[in-house]
Copies of this chain bind each other. A is one copy, B any other.
Amino acid sequence: MEKEIIVALDAMGGDLAPVETVKGAVDAVKELGNVKIKLVGLEEAVKKELAKYSYPEGKIEVVPATEVISTDEVPTMAIRRKKDSSMVVGMQLVKKGEADAFVSAGSTGALLTGALLIVGRIPGVERPVLGTCLPTGRDFTFLVDSGANVDCKPKYLEQFAKMGAVYVENVFGKKNPSVALVNIGAEKEKGDTLTKEAYELLETSDLNFTGNIEPRNIPFGEADVVVCDGFVGNTILKFAEGLSKALVGIIKEEITKGAYKIPAAMLLKPFKKVKKSFDADEVGGAPFIGLKALVVKAHGSSNAKAFKNAIRQCVLFTEADIVGKIQDKL
């Protein structure tokens, strides 16, 4: 029998916790093979929620934590002071070898800070990177860095690309993934100092580097991995969120009003399908890659499906020994 993967889940993280975190854990142990979940959080609340379900015995364990870090706390302060928070306790399990990976939908800042301090970087990794799957209709493109590191050096971008490629190949099963550099022009000599120097590094690496990608081509999935600094990546991610919302709103209004009068009811199903094709829950969260174990930042509004899929990422990551593969690659 394969080694059982142990995933610690922050039962208190996210807008819908602990209802959806607990349900996600139950779904995960039922649907995924060799995984055990350690649900970390306020003992009474978590156990009460867990009592609603039946699941394979011994597959879920509740690990008590008496504090919760909220999203409006200053990350470093929160991690240092709330030693018995679900987030800190969960990452301590990973550090002590009592869990293989950690998932949380709590404060992004606190999670990234805590992951660096508690789980720690793989030796040789300059900066761990946050990767996010950007939907491209039927598929997705993997955006690194989607927000963990501002003020980057060219070398960081090269490492982001390598870690992203290893992740996409092993967790999402895309062989020899193509990698492109986000830039404001297609030609090699375009861009700012950072991208020009990063281009040189990527070009001479062993990656399947396809050159610059202009942002207008990102939504069409022209590369499996797109690399940029965390300021640009986070801008793309958040702008995509806002523009999609604005555009869908305007289109709905135009179609249903005035002279055209297509009944809004006729649009419910197709718009639901469009929404699904841009559904972040299908992936389950943004992996923070380059640490000694996987830490997944699930979206604040994650539901049970998102948590289950985040847990699935942890299982695939651990089984494929991505930490070892990243060490080899760098």
Contact = CB atoms under 8 A, between A and B. Distances in A.
Interface of A: 136-137, 147, 150-151, 182, 184, 191-193, 195, 214-220, 230-232, 234-251, 254-255, 259-260, 262, 266-267, 269-271, 273-274, 277
Give the number of copies in the complex.
2
A137 B246 contact: yes
A232 B246 CA distance: 20
A130 to B, nearest CB: 12
Nearest to A256: B270
A242 B234 CA distance: 17
A182 B242 CA distance: 14
Q: Of A191, A220, A236, A251, which is in contact with the most chain B CB atoms at under 10 Å from its CB?
A: A251
B242 A270 contact: no
A305 B181 CA distance: 36
Given A150-B192, A266-B260, A250 B215 contact: no
Nearest to A222: B242
Nearest to A259: B269
Given A239-B239, A243-B247, A251-B270, 10 more contacts: A150-B184, A151-B193, A218-B239, A219-B239, A231-B232, A247-B248, A254-B271, A262-B266, A262-B267, A262-B270
10 contacts: A184-B238, A191-B231, A215-B234, A215-B242, A217-B242, A220-B242, A240-B243, A250-B277, A254-B271, A260-B269
Contacts of A269: 259-260
A239 B238 contact: no
A219 B244 CA distance: 9
A289 B204 CA distance: 39
Contacts of A271: 251, 254
